Amino acid sequence: MTTIIDGKQVAASVIDAVKAATVQLEKEAGVKPGLAVVIVGDDPASHAYVSSKSRMAKECGFNSIQHTLPEATTQEELARLVETLNEDESIHGILVQLPLPGHLKSEPIIQSIRPEKDVDGLHVVNAGKVATGDLDGGLVSCTPAGAMVFVRRTHGDDLSGLNAVVIGRSNLFGKPMSALLLAANATVTTAHSRTKDLPAVCRNADILVAAVGRPEMVKADWVKPGATVIDVGINRISAEGRSRLVGDVAFEECAKVAGVITPVPGGVGPMTIAMLMANTVIAAYRKAGRTPPKF
């Protein structure tokens, strides 16, 4: 019988742990975690994301601050705001919602956030710490961190003897996901569009993670019987005049072969905001000189 992971349920358990850690930090150190979210312009999807992040931060008991800047904001104005938030002792996490309007360069802004406040895990220092296995020193990018929660809850903390295949080599997900699996002692293959005989490579995987942005690319005959399949893709497709969300995995057919599988929607998606909250608590604990909780 295949286990379908309920991402909302797992995310809720992470949020419960964040709330408990927040209460404990405030009681023991008098510190309330602070999260500042910055959004520029009027993109409706970005505003929806930011609202849900700010709402969740308040629910977790954080000091939640949102800066909504006009479309015409200059690079210098945005950089000044980030610098102010860097200096603010009450703010432990800074998140600049991407994409920024076309006239702004996102990379210099992201890299100007202090690594210890970079709760999105996008700063090169945090990416480097993940790549070198220093998971207790950096902040891990939220989506791979969330996917790893699923892996750990299925297989435990030590993945010795297991083969993992990650399809996708993006800096945002593929590379950090491979590094996290490697740090947990899995034998990892990073596959991509240039990989020779990709289905054969995937069939060797005890843990198969798909993150390429191609709708339902992974078929049932790519999946080793009993494997854990984590689908990170979110693709909108139209069929019979209706649009729906699908992942990179052909869910219905792969679910018949896999031992454990994540659906789309409702799998990895809900974990991203949960891990953002977890990173904010971790950053607050570190700033207070305390050992942060594990999620």
Active-site pick, 97, 117, 248, 287:
97
CA distance 158 to 194: 30
Active site residue 53: yes
**DSSP state, 85?**
H
Residue 170 assigned as binding residue = yes
Active-site pick, 118, 120, 206, 248:
120
Active site residue 42: no
Residue 168 assigned as binding residue = yes
Q: Which residue has the tokens 């992942």?
A: 247
CA distance 206 to 223: 9
Active-site pick, 53, 117, 129, 175:
53
Measured distance between the N- and C-terminal CA atoms of the chain, rounded to whole angstroms: 27
Active site residue 9: no
Residue pair 246/264 in contact by the 8 Å Cβ criterion: yes
Residue pair 204/198 in contact by the 8 Å Cβ criterion: no
Let me know the angle formed at the C-alpha of 19 by 284 and 134, rounded to the nearest 5 degrees.
45
Q: What residues form DSSP beta bridges with 36?
A: 65, 94
Q: What one-character-per-residue DSSP string does 216-258 give?
A: T-B-GGGSPTT-EEEE---EEEEETTEEEEE-SB-HHHHTTT-
Side-chain half-sphere CA neighbours of 169 within 13 A: 8
The binding site for NADP(+) comprises 168-170, 234
Active site residues: 53, 97, 120
